[in-house]
Structure 1
Amino acid sequence: MQDTARSKHSARNLHICESTKKLFALNFSSFIASRLTFQSKRTFSKLIVRIAIVGIMLGLGVMILSIAIVKGFKKEIREKVRGFAGDIQITKFDNNFSYENSPFMVDSAFIKKAHAQPLIKKVMPYATKPAIIKANGEIEGVVLKGVDKSYDWGIFKSTMESGKVINFADSVAAQKQIMISSYTAARLNLKVGDDFLMYFIQEPMRTRKFSIVGIFNVGVEDVDKTFVIGNLSIIQRLNDWTYREAGGFEVQVTDFDELKSANDQLNKVLPTYLRSYTVDETYPTIFEWLKLLDVNTQVMLVLMLIVAVINMISALLIMILERTSMIGMLKALGASNWSIQSIFLYNSAYLIGMGLLLGNLFGLGFSWFQHTTHFFKLDQASYYMKFVPIELSFSDVALLNLGTLIICLLVLLLPSMLVSKISPVRAIRFK
Structure 2
Amino acid sequence: MNYEFFIAKRIIKAKQYKSSVSATIIKIAIAAIAIGIVMMMVAIATGMGLQKTIQEKVAAFNGHIQISNFDNNDSEVSLTPLDSNQEFYPDFTQVSGIKHIQAVAIKAGIIRTEKTFEGVLAKGVGTDYNWEAFTDFLKEGRFPNVSDKRENREVLISAYLARRLELKLGDTFKSLFLKENTNEIPNERTFEIVGIYDSGFQKFDANVMLVDIRHIRRMNKWKAGEIGNFEVFLDSFDEIQLKDEEIYHVIPPNLDTQSVISKFPFIFEWISLFDVNIFLIIGIIIIVGGINMITALLVLILDRTPMIGILKSLGSSNWSIRKIFLYNAAYLIGIGLLWGNLIGIAFIWIQRSFGLLKFPNPEQYHTAIIPTHIEVWHILALNIGTLVLCVLMLLIPSYIITKITPVKAIKFQ
Q: Do Structure 1 and Structure 2 share a fold, with TM-score over 0.5?
A: yes
Q: In the alignment, residue 295 of structure 2 is paired with which amino acid?
A: S
Verify: 1:69 aligned to 2:46, yes or no: yes
Q: What is the Cα deviation at residue 321 of structure 1?
A: 2.0
Q: What is the Cα deviation at residue 24 of structure 1?
A: 5.9
Equivalent residue in structure 1 for 2:274, among 274, 293, 312? 293
CA deviation vs aligned residue, 1:32-70 (integer Å, no higher than 9, x gap): 43246x532665311211111011001111111111111
Q: What is the Cα deviation at residue 302 of structure 1?
A: 0.6
In structure 2, the partner of 1:399 is 381
In structure 2, the partner of 1:307 is 288
Larger Rg: 1
User: Matched residues in 2 for 1:90 and 1:28: separation?
Assistant: 66
User: Matched residues in 1 for 2:368 and 2:106: separation?
Assistant: 28
Measured at CA, do residues 382 and 27 of structure 1 come closer, stay the same or move farther in structure 2, by a change above 3 Å?
A: closer
Q: What is the Cα deviation at residue 296 of structure 1?
A: 0.5
User: Matched residues in 2 for 1:403 and 1:252: separation?
Assistant: 35
Verify: 1:95 aligned to 2:69, yes or no: no
Equivalent residue in structure 1 for 2:362, among 363, 380, 384? 380
Q: What is the Cα deviation at residue 25 of structure 1?
A: 2.4
In structure 1, the partner of 2:400 is 418
Q: What is the Cα deviation at residue 199 of structure 1?
A: 0.5
Verify: 1:78 aligned to 2:59, yes or no: no
User: Matched residues in 2 for 1:211 and 1:31: separation?
Assistant: 74
Measured at CA, do residues 27 and 291 of structure 1 come closer, stay the same or move farther in structure 2, by a change above 3 Å?
A: closer
Give structure 1 stretches of 5+ with no counterpart. 1-22
In structure 1, the partner of 2:168 is 191
> Normalising by the residue count of structure 2, what TM-score does the alignment of the two structures yield?
0.94
The DSSP-based 3-state class of the residue aligned with 1:140 is strand
Is the 8 Å Cα contact of residues 115 and 121 (structure 1) preserved in structure 2? Answer: no
Equivalent residue in structure 1 for 2:195, among 200, 214, 230? 214
CA deviation vs aligned residue, 1:321-370 (integer Å, no higher than 9, x gap): 23222211222233322332122112112211110111111211111121
Count of matched residue positions in the alignment of Structure 1 and Structure 2 = 407
Q: In the alignment, residue 392 of structure 2 is paired with which amino acid?
A: L
Is the 8 Å Cα contact of residues 136 and 189 (structure 1) preserved in structure 2? Answer: no
The DSSP-based 3-state class of the residue aligned with 1:192 is coil
Q: What is the Cα deviation at residue 160 of structure 1?
A: 0.7
In structure 1, the partner of 2:206 is 225
Q: How does 1:255-334 map to 2 (within 5 A)?
A: 255-334=236-315
CA deviation vs aligned residue, 1:48-100 (integer Å, no higher than 9, x gap): 11111011001111111111111211111111110111000122111222233
Verify: 1:47 aligned to 2:24, yes or no: yes
Give identity over the alignment, percent: 40
Q: What is the Cα deviation at residue 28 of structure 1?
A: 4.3
CA deviation vs aligned residue, 1:277-297 (integer Å, no higher than 9, x gap): 001112212111110001100
User: Matched residues in 2 for 1:86 and 1:336: separation?
Assistant: 65
Please, which moves more after superposition, 333-342 or 348-357? 333-342
User: Matched residues in 2 for 1:353 and 1:41: separation?
Assistant: 17
Verify: 1:123 aligned to 2:101, yes or no: yes
CA deviation vs aligned residue, 1:251-301 (integer Å, no higher than 9, x gap): 112222111221122112222222110011122121111100011001011
User: Matched residues in 2 for 1:168 and 1:41: separation?
Assistant: 71
Please, which moves more after superposition, 108-117 or 359-368? 108-117
Q: What is the Cα deviation at residue 416 of structure 1?
A: 1.4
The DSSP-based 3-state class of the residue aligned with 1:40 is helix
Verify: 1:251 aligned to 2:232, yes or no: yes
Verify: 1:341 aligned to 2:328, yes or no: no
The DSSP-based 3-state class of the residue aligned with 2:299 is helix
User: Matched residues in 2 for 1:100 and 1:417: separation?
Assistant: 69
Q: In the alignment, residue 139 of structure 1 is paired with which amino acid?
A: F
Please, which moves more after superposition, 411-420 or 240-249? 411-420
User: Matched residues in 2 for 1:159 and 1:200: separation?
Assistant: 26
In structure 2, the partner of 1:111 is 89
> Normalising by the residue count of structure 1, what TM-score does the alignment of the two structures yield?
0.90
CA deviation vs aligned residue, 1:374-396 (integer Å, no higher than 9, x gap): 11012321111111111122211
CA deviation vs aligned residue, 1:92-143 (integer Å, no higher than 9, x gap): 1112222332212223324268433212222211111110101232111111
Root-mean-square deviation over aligned CA pairs: 1.8
User: Matched residues in 1 for 2:246 and 2:196: separation?
Assistant: 36
The DSSP-based 3-state class of the residue aligned with 1:145 is strand
The DSSP-based 3-state class of the residue aligned with 2:210 is strand
Q: In the alignment, residue 334 of structure 1 is paired with which amino acid?
A: G
Is the 8 Å Cα contact of residues 90 and 102 (structure 2) preserved in structure 1? Answer: no
Verify: 1:142 aligned to 2:120, yes or no: yes
Measured at CA, do residues 406 and 208 of structure 1 come closer, stay the same or move farther in structure 2, by a change above 3 Å?
A: same
- Larger relative helix fraction: 1
In structure 2, the partner of 1:20 is none
